[in-house]
Amino acid sequence: MTAAGRRGRGVAVLGSTGSIGTTALRVIARQTERFHVAALTAFGNAELLASQERATSPSYVGLVSPNGTKPPAGWRVGAASLVEAATRDDVDIVLNAVVGAAGLDATLAALEAGKRVALANKETLVVAGELAAAACARSGGEIVPVDSEHSAILQCLGRRNRSDVRRLIITASGGPFRTWTPEAIGAATLADALRHPTWSMGRKITVDSATLANKALEVIEAHFLFGIPYDQIEVVVHPQSVVHSMVEFVDGSVLAQMGVPSMELPVLYALTHPERVHDDGVPRFDPVAHSPLTFEPVRLADFPALRLGLEAARNGGAAPAVFNAANEQAVALFLEGKMQFAAIATSIDAALAALGTMQATDKASLLAADAAARAHVAARAGRN
Ligand code: NAD
Ligand code: MG
């Protein structure tokens, strides 16, 4: 079908070859009356990207780091393709499913261009939450979260005033090491860390879910998305990942959003919010099959990456960007087999001690803090 014959709103899927990106393409393929794929971008994996192009006929395809392979004619190559895809006239919604701070420029550019950003790339808000909020205020752009916890909170909030909220309660599965002793966690292997009990996701977020750094990223994400102070955001462990998060209101009422652990609904809802549409691809929930539902406190002392991230959040300035970049660098080394699991948190700790008080208000200084943190972790790992 030609672009001119397209129905519905144009969606740019950034990071289309990943876990969220492929989910998004499935969702859009079921909703052809409402949405079409206007642009695709990915990092490597040109073969899968080419098959996605054949299936969806976007007007724009961007490939980052083609590793010397010759991309098909008509594709744009390079990191700038993310921003190009995100700001096109035929794009109404930018689904940012890039992993890491690499997604930052595209989010900010899309918001400045007044687009809806369906945001999976939580690192954007951790590095530059204030800049993203300012871009929304200036241009009329909006962020609708894809992250399941934040989608849940958005759905529980509805149109209520933020002043009605007493507390956000973010649930965490607890990851693969929820019941492990500190000694066993310290000796965890890569295979152990990649064995997530309830969610199937990309490798970086899967490791973040084992260290619980992911929950710190999510607390910061919630703070910026909903404008709620950190002392009104709590984390509780919920091993079944059925209650996706809760909102407590000032009168004591608590609303929760529930469903099976699947990203089909959060991705769909980020596109359709505030509407709800019928979709047979979203798995149905059976309360009896999913019982019992249990909750337990988070073991902050045994998951130092979470504690460090929460401290960085409260310290503000460059600290969240340093936390995020140190974590990205350490996780990359862990995934390459060049770092022990426990060293992820100690690397973050050392980077924050050295760089966490850097001043940063604009993009250039935040990116400088990001680069310094990556260099700090890499240099420290090289010495050990
Ligand atoms: P993934 O690794 O499966 O996919 C990442 C995608 O981004 C791929 O298409 C890859 O080609 C692209 N990419 C990677 N590095 C890039 C770079 N430097 N420049 C441009 N593109 C790049 O990751 P994922 O699990 O789909 O996660 C994506 C984002 O969504 C992350 O921020 C993650 O925290 C968030 N998220 C994921 C899930 C999930 O269920 N997978 C749930 C909630 C939030
Ligand atoms: Mg999440």
Q: Is the CB of residue 19 below 6 angstroms from any atom belonging to ligand 1?
A: yes
The residue among 156, 142, 122 whose CA lies nearest residue 246 is 156
Q: In the block, which residue shows the tokens 């000032």? A: 250
Ligand 1: distance of its center to the CA of 345 in Å? 21
Ligand 1: distance of its center to the CA of 22 in Å? 10
pTM of the predicted protein model = 0.97
**286-305 tens-digit pLDDT:** 999 999 999 999 999 999 99
Report domain extents, the chain: 3-145, 151-383
DSSP string computed for 317-362: TTHHHHHHHHHHHHHHHHHTT-S-HHHHHHHHHHHHHHHTT----S
Encoding tokens for residue 24?
A: 């998004």
CA 210 to CA 199: how far, in whole Å? 12
pLDDT band at 2 (very low <50, low <70, confident <90, very high): very low
Alpha helices in 14-159 (DSSP H): 19-30, 46-56, 80-86, 104-112, 123-139, 148-157
Closest residue by Cα to atom 43, ligand 1, is: 147
Assigned superfamily of 3-145: NAD(P)-binding Rossmann-like Domain (3.40.50.720)
For ligand 2, a single-atom ion, the residues with CB < 5 A are 147-149
**122-174 tens-digit pLDDT:** 999 999 999 999 999 999 999 999 999 999 999 999 999 999 999 999 999 99
Ligand 1, pocket-test mutation among 63, 76, 201, most atoms within 8 A of CB: 201
Ligand nearest to the CA of 212: 2
Q: Is the CB of residue 147 below 6 angstroms from any atom belonging to ligand 1?
A: yes
What single DSSP character describes residue 169? E
CATH topology classification for 151-383? Rna Polymerase Sigma Factor; Chain: A (1.10.1740)
Q: Phi/psi zone of residue 97: left (φ > 0), alpha (ψ -120 to 50 degrees), beta?
A: alpha
Ligand nearest to the CA of 208: 1
pLDDT band at 70 (very low <50, low <70, confident <90, very high): confident
Q: Is the CB of residue 230 below 6 angstroms from any atom belonging to ligand 1?
A: no
